[in-house]
Amino acid sequence: MVPPWTRLERMERKGVVASRRWRAAGLVLAAAALVAVALASVAYGSKPIAVNRVLGSFFTFDGSSDHLIVRSLRVPRTLAGLGVGVALGMAGAVMQGVTRNPLADPGILGVNAGASLAVVLAIYGLDVTSPSGYVWFAFLGAAGASVVVYGLGSLGRDGATPVKLALAGAAMSALLGSVTTAILLLDVATLDQFRFWVVGSLAGRDATILRGVAPFLGAGALLALGSARSLNTLSLGDDVARSLGQRVGLARVCAAVAVVVLTGAAVAAAGPIGFIGLTVPHVARAITGPDYRWVLPYSAVLAPILLLGSDIAGRVVARPGELQVGIVTAFVGAPFFVALVRRRKLAEL
């Protein structure tokens, strides 16, 4: 007779990657790909710099323009892309998990709209002009909108159901968006400043911004990883989760805080970049199956690959100018979104 252990090991998981060992190997592979993309992000641009010159700027800095470009422009930009990518990927995965909504994304829960409105208010009312000044407002706006959306979505007899959360998010997005538009229409100077930020760009992100949001990114990532097990039970429905001894309200709040912190920080650093949080968790899930203990790390590694890849593409396509990364991710993400919606059976998460 086959011992039960090996039998269970064999029957364990489905998905493209069939066993735990393979999933770990896949994660290492993805991480290697991320390193390669990050190097490419430093090397390619409107002025291509050979990889040995790139490495030289770290180890034998000689003050040449190539080395200066690498160290003062491309490295901070790549690091920003890395941080923002990790945050968006994990935030999207947690959001989809906690709302059990395959279309959940910072846009849907109103986080982007809240952050944008806060930034516009800061530019318009408080004359804040530098991106490092936006950070805190974007963060506050993201948190505020999420709290309101969660509060609205939780009203009524069965708490924050996926549908009610999505509806509350859509309603809040529309409301906040129209306020934002009204302010922009009133004031041309605000519009000009806002326009660059709102599209989402990694360009011109200096090290101070990243340093400012890094603690939030770190805390959010840890909280998200810590929520993986409760997301697994929540995905079976509230009643089953409760029956399994999960404190559903507490788990939701933890996950929501992770989402707010991650998206708030990401939006503050790079503006609202869409579709990363939507697409990457689905790709991760297709590889690992629906276990959030794997979906989250995979999302964290795959998202910056997509973000940095899009950023490189934006730099290469429109040389010597460049396309902002938010536009490129929209080009990649929109068809994916359409395909997702057109699927006959919209995935139950």
Partner 1 sequence: MTGHDLRAEGLRLAYDAKVVVDGLTLAIPPGQITVIVGANACGKSTLLRGLARLLKPTAGGVHLDGESISRLPTREVATRVGILPQSPVAPEGLTVAELVARGRYPHQRWFQQWSAADEAAVAAALESTGTAELATRPVDELSGGQRQRAWIAMALAQGTPILLLDEPTTFLDLAHQVEVLDLLGELNATEGRTVVLVLHDLNQACRYAHHLVAMAEGSIVAEGRPSEVVSEELVTKVFGLECRVVPDPVAGTPLVIPVGARHRRPLVDFGSDPT
Cα separation, 159 vs 183, in Å, equals 34
Site string for partner 1, 106-145 (x = CB under 8 A): ----------------------------------------
244 binds partner 1 (CB under 8 A): yes
Cβ neighbours around 286 below 10 Å, total = 13
Residue ranges in the chain assigned as alpha helix (H): 4-11, 20-43, 51-59, 65-68, 75-99, 111-126, 131-154, 162-186, 188-199, 207-226, 228-234, 238-243, 248-270, 276-288, 292-317, 325-342
User: By CB under 8 A, what part of segment 10-29 binds partner 1?
Assistant: 10-15
285 binds partner 1 (CB under 8 A): yes
Site string for partner 1, 144-163 (x = CB under 8 A): -------------x------
227 binds partner 1 (CB under 8 A): no
Tokens encoding 141? 């706006």
Q: Choose, by CB under 8 A, the member of 39, 289, 318, 336 that binds partner 1.
A: 289
**Per-position DSSP letters for 257-311, written without gaps between them:** HHHHHHHHHHHHHH----SHHHHHHHHHHHHH-S-HHHHHHHHHHHHHHHHHHHH
Q: At what angle do helices 131-154 and 162-186 cross, to 10 degrees?
A: 140
192 binds partner 1 (CB under 8 A): no
The footprint of partner 1 on this chain (CB under 8 A) covers a number of residues equal to: 34
Site string for partner 1, 43-72 (x = CB under 8 A): ------------------------------
Q: Which range of residues in 76-84, 174-182, 190-198, 243-251 is near partner 1 by CB under 8 A?
A: 243-251
Site of interaction with partner 1 (CB under 8 A): 4-5, 7-8, 10-15, 100, 157, 229, 232-233, 235-237, 239-240, 242-247, 285, 289-291, 345, 347-349
